[in-house]
Structure 1
Amino acid sequence: MKREEMKASLMRYRDAIVRERQMAGELRQLRIRRRMLEQCQGAEAADAAQSIGKLEQEIARNVEESLRTRGEVLALIGQIQDPSENAVLVLHYINGDSLERVGEKMDRSERWARDKHTQALDRLCGL
């Protein structure tokens, strides 16, 4: 697998979390709309309630998928034996930290974090 394909594979968890947050925002907006429409008691209120139900089900499915994806990504990262490379991947792909922030958290430079990131990806590609 090429480095860019590996990065895309590792990014799946972060992408899933972003989708969940977006849907949670939509859900909040729908709930607010439903509360306003409940006073009207009409088709609009019923439509809002139905939309909320569908979105809640979709969010539940996405949460399950995110948990599954997180496990897959952690298993992939777990193949890295070097503790610093492993930590860089977890901080970046699971916690969502930028490589600059990863370097800061590990009391290293951004360049060091980028180098470790590249080394870890190359190592994963070679497995």
Structure 2
Amino acid sequence: MKSVTLGAVSFGLIFGFATAVIAANPQQVNQLRQTNQCPGCDLRSIPLLQASLANADLQGADLRGANLREANLSGANLSGAFLGGASLRQANLAGANLTDANLIGADLTGANLENAQLKGATWIDGSIK
């Protein structure tokens, strides 16, 4: 009986975790790519979509309040982008161009900003740790 219960719990945890990992909405990724606008979108990292935002041209994109937690934005052009209130926790922004980006209220906790260009970027009360 214990092995059946443990198996059921393990099964539930595995599938519950898998559901949590598949978080980004492919339609929202397409919306961002086509319109450069996706305020409030859920673009958290998932294995199938991780590469889709690396090196992306998102110059001037409206991503205010978007969930970009753990997203791979390495090498992306986010110059002049509006990322106010966005969650960029643990995001990979290595080599990204954030020149003149609005990061006011953005959460950059644990974000990789190695070699990122931040000239003219603004953040007040944003969290960079």
Shorter-chain TM-score above 0.5: no
Greater C-alpha radius of gyration: 1
Larger relative helix fraction: 1
TM-score (norm. length: structure 2): 0.30
